[in-house]
Chain A
Amino acid sequence: MTPASKCVGVLAIAAVGGLATSCKQELSDPLSVTCASREIYVTHVSEVMERRCGTLDCHGSDFRPMRLLGRDGLRHPLEGKRTGEGVTTDGEKSANYYAICAIEPEKVAKVVSDPGGNAVNGLLLVRKGRGQEGHKGGKVFDPWDDADRCVVGWLRGDAEENVEKACKAALARLP
């Protein structure tokens, strides 16, 4: 074996080893995201997202990104419930929270670090919802309508009572 081929062999082994190590490290990391208040999401925002975005034909599907779970949509795979049974569980709301926060974790972290700032307008979630970015479901919110203020207000850290008011008004418009 020539020195050159030995060198290539060593490099290949090192690369594969490095790759394996990095994968292992990522997989064993606990799930952590920097995101807006989980409590406000679960209490006020989740139902708006479930009912407006999480229908079975949209984000309530196993085959779509930003998968949303809920009572009238897709159910949690580990909880044994069927569509329409009971209520949306805490586990489902929690899964929805992470599904939303993990779309663009760095950008969401930036939004959270600047409460009330404008960075929220650049989030994919907001841009798609407003129809400013390609979205199969089209425009879902008008900028600063009730549903928009519910989601955007939560993300950028608005006062809980304002988020609650906007979410309740948005829900009142839904069937």
Chain B
Amino acid sequence: MPSHDRWMLRLLLSGACLSVVALSSCRYDPVIAERIRKAPPEDAEGPRPEHRAGQACVDCHSTYEGAQPELAIGGTVYWQTAKGYLNGAEGVFVTINDSAGATYKACTNKSGNFFIAKSDIQGIDDLAFPLTVSVGGIKMSSLIGRERSCAGCHKLASVERIDIDPRVDPATGRSRDSAGAIIIDPEFVPKLERCGVPSDASASSSSSGGAGGAGGTAGQGGSGMMAGTGGSGPSSAMASTTGQGGAAATTASAGGMAAGSGGGNP
């Protein structure tokens, strides 16, 4: 092969390599990568709808990390014991209204997790931001502009966060840059906003859950102080959607996708 052809071939190969590197690096997001790197380890029971309560769901359940199902939005709802511990609030509706007029409902599972999968979005490809949200009938006071992981703003307390800012509330995680955990009082959730479990069962789980919170899985956000998130129960939650523009509504399918087994609050 003549020398100039060899040079041309090398040049083309180098160009192709550079293109591959450039394209693959486009997916890299240092902020999400750092959050994933710092996330506490997986629960003993492994991936299931109740896992990793309080962590940023959509960091992984997205095209970025590829965990299935891909989520449109997800988060964790808690209730607080008299001693200040956090426990997953089971059986509460989270209602999400998007800017295109669609309403979606998700039901919290045993660890308080809720989510709406991308496949649950009907008619259009995705949620239309900004969103308004209510949990157990209580409206969130601000809009959601773009964040799909509720824990992106509703951060739990952690040793690292308190080291950086001593004003972080060690119980709720509230600080100057975070609204803290999403906390509801199960006693005040109207019947229409309950789901998945009978309302009286919800009340009884409230009374027994305090102990569960204190002895529950520690280490949310690395703090190990407050966030008992209970275990994994067999029942749980799935998103429901109501149609857009007055179209027929679908209802919640509690337990529809739940795969958890065993566990449960101590």
Is the Cβ of B177 less than 8 Å from the Cβ of A61?
Answer: yes
**By DSSP majority rule, is chain A's interface helix, strand, loop, or mixed?**
loop
Chain B 167-180 near chain A by CB (<8 Å), digits 1 or 0: 10100001111111
Known contacts A57-B152, A82-B167, A138-B129; A74/B143 CB under 8 A:
no
**Cβ contacts under 8 Å, A56 to chain B:** 142, 147, 153, 177-179
Instruction: A77 to B141: give the CA distance in the assembly, Å.
Output: 21
- The secondary structure that dominates the B interface is loop
CB of A80 within 8 A of CB of B167, answer yes
Selected from A57, A75, A81, the residue in CB contact (under 8 A) with B153 is A57
User: How close is A73's CB to chain B, nearest CB, in angstroms?
Assistant: 7
B159 within 8 A of A: no
| B residues less than 8 Å from A61 (CB atoms) | 177
Contact between A51 and B177, CB atoms less than 8 A apart = no
Q: Do B176 and A51 have beta carbons less than 8 Å apart?
A: no
CB distance from A173 to the nearest CB of B (A): 11
Contact residues in A for B145 (Cβ distance below 8 Å): 53, 55, 57-58, 137
Chain B residues whose C-beta falls within 8 Å of the C-beta of A55 in the assembled complex: 130, 142-145, 153
In B169-201, the 8 Å CB interface with A consists of 169, 174-180
Which of A52, A63, A72, A74 contacts B141, CB < 8 Å?
A72
Query: Does residue B35 face the partner (Cβ distance < 8 Å to A)?
Result: no
Smallest Cβ-Cβ distance to A51: which chain B residue:
B142
Task: List 12 A-B pairs, Cβ < 8 Å.
Answer: A55-B130, A56-B177, A57-B147, A58-B145, A61-B177, A76-B176, A77-B176, A82-B174, A82-B176, A83-B175, A83-B178, A84-B141
Closest 10 CB pairs of A and B: A57-B147, A58-B145, A75-B176, A56-B153, A72-B142, A175-B132, A55-B145, A83-B179, A82-B174, A55-B142
